[in-house]
Amino acid sequence: MAKTTSFFCRECGFESAKWMGQCPACREWNTFVEEPAGGNTRTQHTAGSRSGRTAGPVPSRLSEISASKEERISTGYRELDRVLGGGIVPGSLILVGGDPGIGKSTLLLQVCRSLSAQGKKILYISGEESLRQIRMRADRIGQMGGELLFLCETCLDVIRDVILEQKPETVIIDSIQTMYREEVSSAPGSVSQVRECTNLLMQIAKGEGITVFIVGHVTKEGVVAGPRVLEHMVDTVLYFEGDRHASYRILRGVKNRFGSTNEIGVFEMRQQGLAEVENPSEFMLNGRPRDASGAVVACAMEGTRPILLEVQALVTQSNLGIPRRTAAGTDYNRVNLLMAVLEKRCRLEMGRYDAYVNIAGGMKMNEPALDLSIVLALVSSLKDLPVDEKTVVFGEVGLSGEVRAVSMAEQRVSEAMKLGFECCVLPKICLDKLEKKVYEGKIRLIGVQNVRDAIGIL
Ligand code: TYD
Ligand code: MG
């Protein structure tokens, strides 16, 4: 008797005849789920019909392929356009992933609003919310006009007919986990449903030249098929992330066939929807204390974008045998390592103190360039000496206490200069490579070779 079910990896979609603890393709544990088989029958079928053909396709020479620049449509949001590589490429398939409640629907509704204001016809399909709920959200965001159509539907075969009839320029599918195809027997959100639905959407996007935005939820437990299954099918993958309790949100490009993936867009969740944050550094440094010890401004890179943020440390005498250490927003082990460096190389008795390190503003940053600022924040708090508030610090710290070079020093210094900082402490090797004339009279640059030099400047 033919076997009717197969096992699929929830993460990467790998298919197997038997259950396995670890996926051999993506090496994730406990990701196999049982679903009706059938993924392979379709490919066999197409293979069969192909072999009947007489004239095969002819490959083209690279020089003969027209390289005209593709047209781009602005979303009306510069932060989003940048992540997309300069705007939407018509006919592309864009996946917007993120935790539930992070603001994916809000972002896409705002994009709809801005596109419809440009006179584009848009179809927003929601499988999660009723029309009334969408209306309520739209009212918060503001006036909407133009040809903006809404549909509550989860059967993708019905949706396809509506799309072919209405011929919109942009379609939003919110979310892929709620969609299903009649011919696939497993539940919505399962690996095979998600894959088949995306397949159909891809045919629609490429065949009709319609831009399709797909919303995909990522869950920790992964009960629902993670959007990773569809990452390789779509043109662009964007992840919307951020702390739900903090108001800022970061849109990050993970894959982009039409641009670089080094870019991020920063948004802030407000009462009236998402607002662009054009200058994230200013946003992160808002409400900074003056003349407080233990606070140092650091410069980290998010892709190609420098962001200034405040690193805070609180070092207090410990009452416990084993001192307490915490790190919020940065790597705990890295903080421990840096404290060990201070203890050994600078003869500071960190072992007798509790230490709490925090990146203000709820930002998460693990860049090694933050090392020097963490070290200075710790020492500043330990000695109760405030660091000059107009100083920016960056540099990686090695185990022997040396300050090592970091990438993109020029951009970091320029960002500090742009925001009116007067002094910058950076690795000596980076300083030697910088064109000093540009900065003369605008910002004082101090190169340091090891941690002791840096503490001396304090
Ligand atoms: P939503 O877009 O529904 O998230 P997702 O589609 O990713 O699940 O956004 C949900 C959150 O955003 C919700 O907790 C409320 C908040 N929000 C605002 O703070 N202001 C607003 O104007 C809107 C529309 C939502
Ligand atoms: Mg939503």
C-alpha to C-alpha distance for 220 and 394, rounded to whole angstroms: 33
For the CA of 104, the nearest atom of ligand 1: 7
- Position 420 confidence tier, pLDDT thresholds 50, 70, 90: confident
User: Which residues is 276 bridged to in the sheet?
Assistant: 267
Q: Bigger pLDDT: 30 or 50?
A: 30
Q: Bigger pLDDT: 4 or 385?
A: 385
> Taking CB atoms and a 6 Å cutoff, what residues make up the pocket around ligand 1?
98, 100-106, 137, 140, 269, 271-273
C-alpha to C-alpha distance for 70 and 14, rounded to whole angstroms: 34
User: What distance in angstroms lies between residue 101's CA and the mean position of ligand 2's atoms?
Assistant: 7
User: What distance in angstroms lies between residue 77's CA and the mean position of ligand 1's atoms?
Assistant: 18
What confidence score (pLDDT) does residue 29 get?
Answer: 86
Measure Cα distances from 118 to 114, 294, 370 in Å: 7, 49, 43
C-alpha 429: how far from chain center: 31
What confidence score (pLDDT) does residue 43 get?
Answer: 42
Q: Which residues contact 128 (CB under 8 A, 6 or more apart)?
A: 105, 174, 175, 178
What confidence score (pLDDT) does residue 38 get?
Answer: 58
User: What distance in angstroms lies between residue 214's CA and the mean position of ligand 1's atoms?
Assistant: 17
Among 28-32, 355-359, 383-387, which is the least confidently predicted range? 28-32
Q: DSSP E strands: which ranges in 59-120?
A: 93-98
Q: To test ligand 1's pocket by mutation, which of 95, 106, 128 has the most ligand atoms within 8 angstroms of CB? A: 106
Q: DSSP readout, 6-39?
A: EEEETTT--EESS--SB-TTT--BS-EEEEE--H
Atom 1 in ligand 1: residue holding the nearest Cα: 103
Whether 227 shows a pLDDT value over 60: the answer reads no
Contact 387, 311 (CB under 8 A): no
Q: DSSP readout, 373-438?
A: HHHHHHHHHHHT-BPPTTEEE--EE-TTSBEEP-S-HHHHHHHHHHTT--EEEEEHHHHHHS-HHH
pLDDT in tens, 195-205: 899 999 999 99
Contact 31, 222 (CB under 8 A): yes
For the CA of 141, the nearest atom of ligand 1: 22
C-alpha to C-alpha distance for 229 and 155, rounded to whole angstroms: 20
What confidence score (pLDDT) does residue 292 get?
Answer: 87
Contact 244, 63 (CB under 8 A): no
C-alpha to C-alpha distance for 298 and 374, rounded to whole angstroms: 9
User: What distance in angstroms lies between residue 100's CA and the mean position of ligand 2's atoms?
Assistant: 7
Whether 245 shows a pLDDT value over 80: the answer reads no
Q: Which of 236, 194, 200, 196 is nearest to 217 (CA)?
A: 194
Q: Considering every ligand atom, which ligand is closest to the CA of 275? A: 1
What confidence score (pLDDT) does residue 144 get?
Answer: 81
H helix or E strand, kind and range, residue 228: helix 228-231
Rounded percentage of the chain residues whose pLDDT exceeds 70: 93
What confidence score (pLDDT) does residue 364 get?
Answer: 81
Contact 437, 327 (CB under 8 A): no
Measure Cα distances from 45 to 8, 49, 50, 117, 412 in Å: 21, 7, 9, 45, 56
Q: To test ligand 1's pocket by mutation, which of 269, 271, 272 has the most ligand atoms within 8 angstroms of CB? A: 269
For the CA of 108, the nearest atom of ligand 1: 2
User: What distance in angstroms lies between residue 365's CA and the mean position of ligand 2's atoms?
Assistant: 27
H helix or E strand, kind and range, residue 314: strand 305-317
Q: Considering every ligand atom, which ligand is closest to the CA of 96? A: 1
pLDDT (average), residues 145-151? 87
User: What distance in angstroms lies between residue 138's CA and the mean position of ligand 2's atoms?
Assistant: 13
pLDDT in tens, 43-83: 444 444 455 556 678 888 888 887 777 789 999 999 999 89
Question: Over the chain, what is the mean pLDDT?
Answer: 87
**What predicted TM-score, i.e. pTM, was given to this entire model?**
0.76
Q: Considering every ligand atom, which ligand is closest to the CA of 129? A: 2
Q: Which of 164, 150, 166, 167 is nearest to 113 (CA)?
A: 150
User: What distance in angstroms lies between residue 310's CA and the mean position of ligand 2's atoms?
Assistant: 32
3-class secondary-structure state, position 313: strand
3-class secondary-structure state, position 155: strand
What confidence score (pLDDT) does residue 45 get?
Answer: 43
